[in-house]
Amino acid sequence: MLRSFALADADDVSNLVSDYEVAKTTLAVPHPYPTDGAAGWIAGHPAEEDRNHTTFAITLKTTGELVGAITLIEKRIHLRAEIGYWIGHAYWGNGYATEATKAIIEWGFAERGLNRIFAHHFAENLASGRVMQKSGMTYEGTIRDCVQKDGRFIDTPIYSILRREWEPSNDIRVMKTRHSNSTVMGERSDLRMSCG
């Protein structure tokens, strides 16, 4: 389930992103993670949404357990957006990032009126590249020394999908969110996407 974050999620966020396995694959997550970092990050979401940066908690449908986060960062003047996500290490390999990415892509095209959605990943994080491929995105190339983390420069392969390449899937329903009166909802047995 995709939902808005609440301050009550701060401890769970801290526990998940404090794991070095998560931090080392994510540009914006420092290690060690600051004690009050999650609360500050969550408190900043409303201001980010005003700038068309929308972040959702990814939770399990059956238990409501937090497993990660996904963000869509829009550049409205160009009708494009970048996807960013992280999944707690204990939840890797279950398809949660792929399911969330497909849902955000659908929301971006169907409800936000975007023309292009892209994402990039650290070159050594091959699993993230597979998420993008499984979500229907096309590899465009690799940007050499694109970002710096932990004192080293990192290449980032980039993937994208255009509106004309996208077709709405049958397992996603669009309902209600803050931005567009719609919710992204997927129909997996263990993960449901809904925001609102």
Asked if residue 176 lies in contact with residue 185, where contact means CB atoms within 8 angstroms, the answer is: no
Q: What angle do CA 166, 104, 110 make, to 5 degrees?
A: 50
Three state DSSP letters for the chain: CEECCCHHHHHHHHHHHCCHHHHCCCCCCCCCCCCCHHHHHHHCHHHHHHCCEEEEEEEECCCCCEEEEEEEEEEHHHCEEEEEEEECHHHCCCCHHHHHHHHHHHHHHHCCCCCEEEEECCCCCHHHHHHHHHCCCEEEEEEEEEEEECCEEEEEEEEEEEHHHCCCCCCEEECCCCCCCCCEEECCCCECCCCC
pLDDT of 73: 97
Give domain limits for the chain: 2-113+171-186
pLDDT of 196: 36
**127: which 2 tokens?**
């699993």
Among 75, 91, 87, 64, CA closest to 6: 64
Assigned CATH topology for domain 2-113+171-186: Aminopeptidase (3.40.630)
Peptide bond into 32 cis (omega under 30): yes
Please give the chain's pLDDT, 196 residues, in tens.
889 999 999 999 999 999 999 999 999 899 999 989 999 999 999 999 999 999 999 999 899 999 999 999 999 999 999 999 999 999 999 999 999 999 999 999 999 999 999 999 999 999 999 999 999 999 999 999 999 999 999 999 999 999 999 976 544 444 334 444 444 444 443 444 443 3
pLDDT of 1: 81
pLDDT of 180: 43
